[in-house]
A = this chain, B = another copy of it.
Amino acid sequence: MTTARRDTYTPDSLLAVAVTVFNERGYDGTSMEHLSRAAGISKSSIYHHVSGKEELLRRAVSRALDGLFGILDEEGARTGPAEQRLEYVTRRMVHVLTDELPYVTLLLRVRGNTGTERWALERRRDFDHRVAALLAEAAADGEVREDIEGRLATRLVFGLINSIVEWYRPGHGSGQDEIADAVVGLVFGGLRREHAA
């Protein structure tokens, strides 16, 4: 027996429930029945809001992607020397990832079995390419070292930033600004202390 509650969900609050379930069980492992149980409303009530779980996935990953692409339209990403824009984007990525933690987590776990997943992977690749282009521009300006191949450097930097979803918990341990400072410090300056010549 399902204990039905009144359906007072908004699109956002239903999405928040769905994303939690997707992240716990995996998207493939989640059925409408699981969503119905987690939300405490019937499956037909869920169908009143969305066409099915794929629409919930699309909305969830769109929220993460809109956050990431939104960075590229911000003033700090559009004006100034490429290396400063790259630093700006790196810092803001940490903020979007931590602000939209469950949505970005889901985006990073998408594997590509459905049309929506393949679309999400393609949008992620687009974003990666935009950042890689910025890195290439900074290298051409002579502001970024050229001994690390651009695609490899981009992968490593994304790997570092994306790994934050594995351990970041809002309100526990390091905060957003501390993490963003550490990421920018590490990615651009490295761990080694610079000694006066």
Contact = CB atoms under 8 A, between A and B. Distances in A.
Interface stretch (A37-45, A52-60, A61-69, A158-166): A158-166
A195 to B, nearest CB: 8
Give the oligomeric copy count: 2
Nearest to A166: B159
Interface string A152-180: 11011111101110110000001000110
A182 interface: yes
A112 interface: no
Contacts of A182: 148-149, 152-153, 156
A92 to B, nearest CB: 17
25 contacts: A143-B192, A143-B193, A144-B193, A147-B181, A147-B185, A148-B181, A148-B186, A149-B174, A152-B174, A152-B179, A153-B182, A153-B186, A155-B163, A156-B160, A156-B163, A157-B160, A157-B186, A157-B191, A158-B163, A159-B163, A159-B164, A160-B160, A187-B190, A188-B191, A189-B190
